[in-house]
Structure 1
Amino acid sequence: MALDFQRKIPASFERVRGNEFGYNAKQVDQFLQRAKVALETPKAASHTVSSSDVRSVSFDPVKGGYSATVVDAALDRLEDAFARRERDELIAARGEDAWLREIGNLSGVLRGRLHRPDGERFRRPTRKKARSYNVSDVDNLCHSLIGYLEEDQPLSVDSIRRAVFRPAAGQDGYEETQVDAFLDRVVELMAAID
Structure 2
Amino acid sequence: MSQDSTVLPFPLTTGRVQGYDPAQVDDFLAAARRSFEDGTAGPLTAADVRRTAFRLVKHGYRIDAVDAAMGRIEDAFAAREREQALSEAGAREWVGSSRRLAQEVLDRLSRPERERFRRVSRLRWGYRVDEVDIVADRIARYLESGESLTVEQVRTVAFRMQRGGYDEVQVDAVLDAVIEVMLAVG
TM-score of the aligned structures, taking structure 1 as reference length:
0.88
- From 158, 165, 168, give the equivalent of 2:159: 165
What letter is aligned with 2:140?
A: I
Q: Does 1:180 align with 2:150?
A: no
Q: After the TM superposition, which segments of 4 or more aligned residues of structure 1 sit over 6 Å from their partners? A: none
1:166 positional shift? 2.4
In 2: Cα distance, 1:19 partner to 1:143 partner: 37
What letter is aligned with 2:72?
A: R
- Residue 48 of structure 2 corresponds to 53
User: What is the SS of the residue equivalent to 1:177?
Assistant: helix
- Residue 4 of structure 1 corresponds to none
In 2: Cα distance, 1:78 partner to 1:46 partner: 15
1:46 positional shift? 3.3
What letter is aligned with 2:143?
A: L
In 1: Cα distance, 2:16 partner to 2:106 partner: 45
The aligned runs of 1:50-129 (5 Å cut-off) are: 50-126=45-121, 128-129=122-123
- Residue 11 of structure 2 corresponds to 14
Q: 1:136 to 1:16 in 2, by over 3 A?
A: same
Q: What is the identity percentage for the equivalent residue pairs of Structure 1 and Structure 2?
A: 39
Q: Does 1:193 align with 2:159?
A: no
In 2: Cα distance, 1:46 partner to 1:123 partner: 37
Alignment RMSD, CA only? 1.4
Deviations 1:57-109 (A, max 9, x none): 01111110101111001000100110010000000111101101110111111
CA contact (8 A) 2:127 2:162 kept: yes
In 2: Cα distance, 1:18 partner to 1:167 partner: 27
In 1: Cα distance, 2:155 partner to 2:135 partner: 12
In 2: Cα distance, 1:180 partner to 1:50 partner: 18
Q: Structure 2: give runs of 5+ residues left out of the alignment.
A: 1-6
TM-score of the aligned structures, taking structure 2 as reference length:
0.92
